[in-house]
Amino acid sequence: MSGSTRRLSGAIQRLSALRPRKGVGSGLQRAQSFMILTTLLYRASHLTVGVLAVAQRRDGHPAQYLCLAAALALSLLVYGTALRRGWFEPRLVWADVLVTGCALPYVLYGWGGVRETPTIGWAMLLGGSASGLAAIVLARRQALTAIALLVVTHLLGYHLVGASRAVLGGHLNSLLSSAAITAIMWWYLRRQGRLLDEANARALAAEHQKARYAERLDHHRALHDTVLATLTTLAGGGIDANAPEVRERCGREAAYLRRLIQQTADEVHHPELGAALEDAVRSAESLRLRVTAQYHELPPVPPEVAAAFADAAREALNNVRRHAGTGHAYLTAAGSGDRGLLVTVVDRGPGFDPEDYVPGFGLRGSVHSRMAEVGGRAVVDTAPGEGVRVELRWPA
């Protein structure tokens, strides 16, 4: 592999390393995951207080257990859905505000026999986590409406049990500070997540530009060492342009130029695979076999797979030169399926009858075995008078 090709491979590897790994996601997704975890822990601390408060009451009314069970079930629904989908559902957040934050204290007061401030406190605590959740999930007006509704209902609820002004003031501060702190935290994390995504996008664009420049540089050097050198020599008049060896060299380099022109601007070739196949083609052309090669959206493959394809394709081209009785072969390489690869080598020779043919060492060892060793397979399709098609596929 040439130095520029190695640099291109390294650039693409660095570019791949900058992409978010599977299961990690973008910066914004990471911020969302962190907020889900933070608010979940906040709600879990309030539920823990509720479990302890209800468990310690020996004369607990069944309604108290039902209210605690309802709070637990709704919390599991809200946070379970968020963990599964990556963010909260606004309708479930509204249900949490109305049921857990607003209705629960009045159910305890009306049917649970709760008439004292300490016994209703655990239900009031849940309003703090409900207000924080509303502040980061709901639209601004809806969030303000939900928080105002929590404030009014909780102040009225504490008033029913005769809570002191200090308790009312402290709880009001808890509701509003929970919403404010959660909103500020979410604003900061979301901003940092977006900045991280923008930085990654700029880095990816820069690495992509470097990779494309390295690819162009590789082509320029190849043209300098081949086509330009030939044209310069011909222009100097030092050799006979009609000499067989000169015409043969011009034909090989014309085929190379043709392959470059056929590549579209959007095609991105994996450097190791593309270079390996092109080396196999040039090797065959140096032995006076004309090869029409086309490459389409080559996927990235492990180095050992690229080497196996190149070696198997080289042997298939050698077989065309030795046995097909034709001086022309066709090689096509393209992506297949989910990141798979298909390479075909075709000739228009006389072909043969597969039932009367015993594969030689080259076909057995250099084609079939090489592909099988890397988890691929080789198929030979031929018939008398139909030429030969060698199909190399990975994975098998």
Query: What is 114-126 written as a DSSP string?
Result: --SHHHHHHHHHH
pTM attached to this predicted model = 0.52
pLDDT at 163: 84
Confidence of residue 161 (pLDDT cuts 50, 70, 90): confident
Say if residue 43 is in the same domain as residue 145: yes
Structural domain that includes position 31: 3-200
Check: CB of residue 257 under 8 Å from CB of residue 224: no
Sign of CA dihedral 123, 124, 128, 131: positive
Confirm whether 106 is domain-assigned: yes
Distance CA 294, CA 283 (A): 16
Sign of CA dihedral 110, 113, 114, 115: positive
Say if residue 81 is in the same domain as residue 174: yes
Distance CA 227, CA 380 (A): 35
Strands 328-336 vs 290-296: parallel, antiparallel or unpaired: parallel
Classified as helix, coil or strand, 217 is helix
pLDDT at 44: 94
- pLDDT tens for 244-300 read 777 776 777 777 677 666 655 444 445 578 888 888 888 788 777 888 888 888 888
Q: Report the CATH number that the domain containing residue 290 is assigned in CATH.
A: 3.30.565.10
Query: Cβ neighbours of residue 375 under 8 Å, at least 6 residues apart?
Result: 305, 394, 395, 396
Say if residue 300 is in the same domain as residue 189: no
Alpha helices, H only, the chain = 3-18, 27-56, 62-85, 90-95, 104-111, 117-137, 140-160, 165-223, 229-236, 244-262, 271-286, 303-323, 361, 369-373
**Of 151, 184, 200, which one is at a domain's C-terminal end?**
200
- Domains in the chain, number: 2
Confirm whether 206 is domain-assigned: no
Say if residue 165 is in the same domain as residue 277: no
Mean pLDDT of all residues in 85-114: 89
